[in-house]
Amino acid sequence: MAARLSTKADYEGLLQSYDTWLFDCDGVLWQGTQLIPGAKEVLAFLRKSGKAVIFVTNNATQSRKMYKGKFEKLGIDAHVDEIVGSAYASAVYISSVMKLPKDKKVYVIGMSGLEEELRDEGISILGGTDPADNVLGSFSLENWTPDPAVGAVLCGLDVAMNYTKFSKAFNYLLRNPGCEFLATNTDSTYPTAHGLLPGAGTVSAPLRFALGRDPLSIGKPAGTMLECIKAKHDFDPARTIMVGDRLNTDIEFGKNGGLATLLVLTGITKESEISGPNASPTVPDYVTQSIGDLRALIEE
């Protein structure tokens, strides 16, 4: 059973137990463009207390550089190296784990942040924000010359997803021998300040359905993002805690990596999913209402 945190002593125990704090962002630090009350103060306090702070987000619409801009806008300190996004992790996976040869290309259903991370890793891409693929309407194979160099299709959240992109991606996966089917992440929904929208998983869903085949998902809860963090930061998993709002991504990610886990209830997961008859089998180590609760540590 998860430990419910509520007293100053509870949060002090947490502070003494963990040196490295991994944070999911959407639903934990902010909701859309609105900061969670207290998030900024708590992060500043953790840093002042000598803790390492790392931001681990499945959001693949933005590159780490773009994401840093979001932190700045909200008044939170963050260095690019402290941000690990599934766009970056996908680029690292393709270049370093999958080792896609340099003469091969990736067909992307995704946005400019994903393209930026792929290009920064020296990966050649097709699709994405190319105006030719950002159209509404029918698609004909008759006038299309598929590129035999495409060795992977990568799907991230793309608010410009459309039939042309799906048709091309589908045909690459169908025709190009060995073409890998990858997803930055497969979050089913995307939390905003005004409610839920379809998440990144809905971008690969049409291809899953047409092909009868599932993508390899790079983001949380898979371990690739933890490998990306390990490559840049020294940390002891036994003294590291993952803070998130989603059981099937954040909390499972922490558990898979041997980290402690803290669930906050300011995002996707609701109280009914962690207690009562319909509780999920994924149980976080700790639960608190909001990251802002840790302000108890700061107040005199």
Binding site for Mg(2+): residue ranges? 24, 26, 245
Is 236 one of the catalytic residues?
no
Which among 123, 81, 129 is positioned nearest to 105, based on CA atoms?
A: 123
Q: How far is the CB of 166 from its own copies (least distance, A)?
A: 5
Q: Give me the 89-128 binding string for its own copies, x by CB under 8 A, dash otherwise.
A: ----------------------------------------
Please identify which of the residues 10, 26, 158, 285 carries the catalytic annotation. 26
Which residue, 164, 176, 182, 185, is CA-closest to 59?
Answer: 185
Nearer to its own copies, 206 or 257 (CB): 206
Which residue number, 7 or 145, has a Cβ lying nearer to its own copies?
Answer: 145
Among 103, 142, 234, 299, binds its own copies (CB under 8 A): 142
192 interacts with its own copies by CB under 8 A: yes
Closest separation between CB of residue 205 and its own copies, Å? 4
Give CA separation, 171 vs 33, 56, 88, 132, in Å.
Answer: 37, 33, 26, 17
Per CB under 8 A, contacts with its own copies among 193-232 are 193-199, 201-203, 205-212
CB closer to its own copies, 16 vs 34:
34
Q: Does the annotation mark 24 as catalytic? A: yes
Catalytic residue ranges: 24, 26
Site residues (CB under 8 A) for its own copies? 134-142, 158-163, 166-167, 170-171, 174, 186, 188-189, 192-199, 201-203, 205-212
